[in-house]
Amino acid sequence: MPQCVLDAAFNVVSDYPGGAASLAPRIDKAASTLTQEVNGTPQAKLGLATAVKITQRTGDLRILLAFAGACGQMLLPLPEGLDVDDDDCMRAATSAAREFGELMTEVMAARADGRTTDNELDRVTRSTGELMRALHQLNAAFVASNMAGKPAAVRAS
């Protein structure tokens, strides 16, 4: 069961160095308002824009992860940049193959006793996400390689 989004927000704010008092001014909120919003006080609601600011300012993805989980989704980090050299496609393919192997290792370990614990499910889910990220990077490397071979006028459009 994914962590409640509001619980995640409370934990992110609480774990920020200095807590709500320190984070609130950095996201243009009063500390008391932010505290009430993440405490789930009926008079105060944590808005989506505030949740985004909290995530961006702290770099903590727990709110986003809880939101994705509540919607039956998972996050997939996007690869950085699309500059490519001749070895990038092969490095990305090697990384994807390695991640697939790691996923299969987790699957086999999880199924060894015929049942799947919460921790095993978490490891398989995390490993599945890493494989998807690696496959996305592989595709991005090939897109960049393809674009690099096109005339400058085509690349600019």
Give the mean model confidence (pLDDT) for residues 43-67: 93
Domain ranges of the chain: 5-70, 88-156
| pLDDT of 53 | 95
State CA 4 to chain mean position distance.
16
Whether residue 78 has pLDDT greater than 70 = no
Indicate if the pLDDT at residue 106 is higher than 90.
yes
Q: Which residues, at least 6 apart from 22, have a Cβ–Cβ distance to it below 8 Å?
A: 16
Taking the complete model, does pTM exceed 0.85, yes or no? no
3-state SS of 20-45 is HHHHHHHHCCCHHHHHHHHHCCCCCC
pLDDT, position 1: 32
Mean pLDDT across the stretch 74-79?
A: 69
**pLDDT attached to residue 114:** 93
